[in-house]
Amino acid sequence: MQPRLKSSQKWTELPKEYVDQIRTAFMENFGTQIGEGKLLIEGRIYPQEILLRVGYLEAGRLAQTNFEVSMDYKPEEAVERIHNCIDAAASMMMEYFEEDGEVDFPYVWKPFPFQKKTIYLQFSTENSELEAEADRLLGSSVDDLVHEETEDEDALSRAEIDEELSGGQEMAKDVFGEEHGASEDGATDEDIEEEDEDDDGQPRMFKGKGKRRLH
């Protein structure tokens, strides 16, 4: 899983408890579609970037369908930005299943307006388990990367974020109860495309835009 910012080098994982909550929430909403496949949740907190990958691996396949979301953040708003990332990934997955995979996702980071913020989305087919095994063989495991961090202000800020996320609240589930909105207010990129929105209020960021089958 590659970050969007070149400056994003050192990172910490989202707390396991929080990742489990996100997985549970996704399974409750997409369990029927996922079926016997695997749902993989990965999240990283960089000094200036929140990165979330929600992966869906169909049974018997090596190629994995990944919905990746990145956002800039300030330490005091990190939890809210993580919520935005979860919501955006859920919208991508919902759209993917509703359109039977015939959706035009960007294969490189691309900005979109979402909930009055700018998010960056990307689709990939990397297999998380194979990627983790390759990292392990190369000696760049998660533990190695995390332990490289020093006690600087960024590391301490991320430690505080981890503590807040691990507080036992079922925040991930709350995200799915919020109304998805689409607005260009607050978007800073002139290239950002407008989101489509259906009658149910759910954003349709890619629907009808050069759809192609992705699996």
Token couple for 83: 């919520």
Crossing angle between the packed helical segments 16-34 and 78-98, to the nearest 10 degrees: 10
Q: Are 120 and 110 in contact (CB under 8 A)?
A: yes
**Amino acid found at 111:** P
Name the residue ranges covered by the structural domains of the chain. Answer: 12-204
Q: Are 62 and 130 in contact (CB under 8 A)?
A: yes
Instruction: Give the count of beta carbons closer than 10 Å to the beta carbon of residue 181.
Output: 16
The yes-or-no verdict on residue 181 having pLDDT over 80 is no
**pLDDT tens digits, 47-104:** 999 999 999 999 888 999 999 999 999 989 999 999 999 999 999 999 999 999 888 9
Question: How far, in whole angstroms, is CA 6 from its chain's centroid?
Answer: 18
Bridge-based pairing of strands 203-204 and 196-197 is antiparallel
pLDDT score for 176:
59
